[in-house]
A and B are shown apart, each in its own frame.
Chain A
Amino acid sequence: MERSFEKYFRQNRLPHLWCPGCGNGIVMKAIVQAIEKKGLDQDKTVIVSGIGCSSRASGYMDFDTLHTAHGRAIPFATGIKLANPELNVIVITGDGDCTAIGGNHFIHGCRRNVDLTVVLFNNSIYGMTGGQASPMTPTHKKATTAPYGAIDRNFDACRLAEAAGATYVARSTAFHVQHLTDMIAGGIDNKGFSFIEAICQCPTSFGRKNKMADPAKMMMWMRDNAVMKAAWDKLPDDKKTEEKFPIGLFYNESETDYATAYNEVIQIAGGADK
């Protein structure tokens, strides 16, 4: 039986160009399922993406889509949201795109609390350009630019988003598909800057360098090392090893969003309609 989420894909573009076993496809499905769950109008939803493997997703999704400059997806999305606040704007970005090239745009998007839903596909590597270490490559993991293991400490994008002022911060993985869908759906519900980090596997660039070339093994790694937030909080510190990470909803607060604040200014200044 044909699945209902298929209507959100540009059928003539599939199969997608991602490598066999790439987690991006799973996360893209989770996004469209969250959109379907929330009943968003296909003509009132805009997908904005930057550059990178993850950002190719906008090309496969049957909405109004925008494939923008490297790291600049959030500024483009801010413009769309301010020009027409009734649109639902979803930003698709990768770990390099969001935290390296677009790092400043990301923190200022959080700070302004623009009503966007940002889904970060974290595959821990620059996949498209040949497996260079990104700011989210875990310390000691190998990459083509870090053959002895990365010495840099990696970003925790969720903590970064929370500190910068995002009002909805969550993390999930490509293994926990239904959980990921729920997290994205929650982000769509939140009026303000919603940030969801989706950990996904890159068997080709990250896996082969780190003895996990089998995509199923990478997903089993997620299954074994992801700890739900509630359980994580009770976990004693000695059990919080380097590999383990928490998933779930980390932060949710309601604050005035940017479009509302801007509209107040428009009214004070005489109103756009007069």
Chain B
Amino acid sequence: MKLRGLRLDSHKSRPLERPIRVVPPPATLVLALDQGSGEDALPVVRPGDSVRTGSVVAAASGAAAALHSPVSGTVREIAVRPTPRGASRCIVIENDGRDDPVAPAAPVDWRAMEGTALIEHVAAAGTAGLGGAAFPSATKLALARAADAELLLLNGAECEPWICCDAALMRERAADVVLGAQVMLAASGAQRCLIAIEDDKPEAIAAIQSAARAATDERIEVRVLPAVFPLGAEGPLVAAVTGREVPHDGWPPQVGVVCQNVGTAAAVARLVQDGRPVTTRIVTVTGSGVKQPANVEACIGTPVGELVAACGGYTAEGARRIAGGSLTGRSLAGDDVPVTKGVNCILLATDADLPARAAEMPCIRCGDCATVCPAGLLPQQLHVAARSDDSAALARFGLSACIECGCCDYVCPSAIPLTVRFRAARERQHLADLERRRAREAKARYERHQRRLAEQAEAEREAFDDARRRARGPDSGGR
């Protein structure tokens, strides 16, 4: 399996010069129902309700994990607000500052628990993929259990430039990561755990290795990977560590692997230590636009502006706000956008950090994009297919396998915004698919309708004939 990708400047050293600092809970928290996975959790509170620290405010649903209040206070409103993924319905909570917990801290006796019961615990705590996807961790663990996955793969690769929250976590809280790995091994039924870390994080590697030794658990090992973007994405990571490929229409458990982020493991460790749900996360605040770049631990729902303020505020240079790294991060609308479970980094980038793109030129089919595509695609061919919206060609060249990592954009000498085009093409294809499915269903219902009308007509005719025969009586044949 060929590892394709980019070797990039990591830009990670500055925030790692300082320890993780804790941002105090703000006066008002905005809890986005879409925590980063693209689906909304179901709110279970109403405006005016009072909540306590750790109360459930929205229930899990599909790809959305349960959501808990990080503070005690009052629900002010449930309204659409700007979020890192654009906009979503949000539960706005006024913090009363008392931090009144819903239940006293109590450790979970996880060693005595069944795997399925542990998974329920993980689900109830609102544990979601803290690497960025925010997919419910319990769902993945349950899938792994059902598929008898043998390997728990903890993702500490953190391949994208600027982001270093996982590196900071592994340096400072390595024991939590290892404990979380043990709990998730028990929950998933996997036999061994590999913690994948890229070779540009020697301190994190050393910290995790010594924590694993301290835990005297032979099932847990560190796997050092080359620092190549996007090795931290799920598909490339599974391939890099195991040599197996996740089927394009399947899940990692189908090849015996369950992937979890190291931050998620630490969150699970905290859950079993004191029984508290996931209400905080570590966020990298970095870029030349902030005075003291650092990793901060903040409540879910804290506005980005508060994070910047905790890091000394903005520098004089104007900065763009990006949630995530320089390759796949999303631009933020403003300072009031809240942190969600999927936000690993707030990049405050000046023009010097991220120079403007050159003007777009025609594709010269140089194929540089294909040499870096981790999915083995031919972006130059997809580009042509996307331009003409040719469904057959888009399918043949594997649009659905695109992970939108941005590598093709990065190397394109013609500065073509390929990733944006592919995402748009994918959306159009998705709508066309929906339309086709709808037409197929309408056709089936129409055929049923026609059949039923024909059967009814037949039945009526027979009934009419019967009635006529009976009316004529037995001797009518002599007429």
The answer to whether A and B belong to the same complex is: no
